[in-house]
Amino acid sequence: MMPWLAVTLDLEAGAAEAFGDALLAAGAQSVALEAERLSAILRPEEDAQALIAAAARSAGVAPPRFSSQTLDDQDWVHASQAQFSPLRVGRLWIGASWHEPPAEAGVVVRIDPGLAFGTGSHPTTRLVLGFLEQRIKSGERVLDYGCGSGILAIAAARLGAAAVDAVDVDEQAVEATAMNARLNEVKLRALAPESLPAATYDLVVSNILFQPLVVLAPLLAARTVRGGWIALAGILDSQAEELARAYAPWFDLAPRASEEGWALLAGTRR
């Protein structure tokens, strides 16, 4: 069996999700987040220190301290499974392929830990899942911008959205979303941003990071139909007011929920 390199990183509160994205972009094979503990799987030939330093440069932070150990294939599977527990968000039950949903599970979404970020374990993901669970009735057109694993797009489709598009700048995220859509037997389009056809949506969600959300404000506004909803996450409570100002020409955004210091902003397109 092929050995893998597992690293565990010490990060400041609130930095784990952003650094997980940076690790994937730098070449990590997978990342997993439990509370503020971030772990990653690297190919055995990778220089862990160099890869983490590259991720830190991309994220604009100092390289964090880390520990490492080797894992064989079976240990990697066991470790991934141990890090991911099912969760409930309203009608939604989120679990991996090896979890058995309870009889009263409601709307089941299956996401396996893998090459793209997003299993529902982070507060920002749970916040957007809760928003989707409350907002989607039936027949909506939904855009998930920065889809990661596809968990939000798939949840939207399972909740009854008529058409769902999911985009990400990371090719592995697009592939993971398409794979997870097949696992859940839902139809959606997983695309790179430049491949997204001209269209507007009844509901746009984006769970990424504060600075990209600021830059994307005109683009996401143009994708939202007048009277349609937008929901933004991946920001701290302290960043909510500034982000709302960036979207003020098109939306009256307000904090809709908060969890563990993370905020969800939402509002309708004027």
Distance CA 137, CA 163 (A): 13
Q: Where are the domains of the chain?
A: 4-79, 117-268
The DSSP symbol for 157 reads H
Distance CA 213, CA 207 (A): 9
Q: DSSP for 38-78?
A: EEEEE-TTS-HHHHHHHHHHHHTSPPPPEEEEEE-HHHHHH
7: Cα separation from own chain's centroid = 21
Tell me the two tokens of residue 155: 């949840």
Query: Residue 69: beta bridge partners?
Result: 6
Q: How confident is the prediction for the chain on average, in pLDDT?
A: 87
CATH top-level class of 117-268: alpha beta
R_g of the chain, CA atoms, integer Å = 18
Per the model's pLDDT, the better-predicted residue between 219 and 5 turns out to be 219
Tell me the two tokens of residue 264: 């969800």
Predicted local confidence at residue 252, as pLDDT = 93
Residue 164: band (very low, low, confident or very high) from pLDDT cuts 50, 70, 90: very high
Distance CA 164, CA 140 (A): 8
Section 43-70 average pLDDT: 87
Side by side, which strands form the sheet with 107-110? 87-89, 92-95, 107-110
Section 176-188 average pLDDT: 94
Residue 83 reports pLDDT greater than 70: no
Cβ neighbours of 215 (radius 10 Å):
10
- The H or E element that residue 213 is part of is helix 210-215
Predicted local confidence at residue 1, as pLDDT = 46
92 contacts 109 by C-beta, under 8 angstroms = yes
Amino acid, single-letter form, for residue 129: L
Predicted local confidence at residue 41, as pLDDT = 80
**Runs of H (alpha helix) within 107-193:** 123-135, 151-159, 171-184
Distance CA 79, CA 124 (A): 23
Predicted local confidence at residue 21, as pLDDT = 76
Fold classification of 4-79 (topology level): Alpha-Beta Plaits (3.30.70)
Residue 44: band (very low, low, confident or very high) from pLDDT cuts 50, 70, 90: confident
Predicted local confidence at residue 116, as pLDDT = 45
Measured CA to CA in angstroms, residue 58 lies from 53, 100, 164 at distances of 9, 39, 30
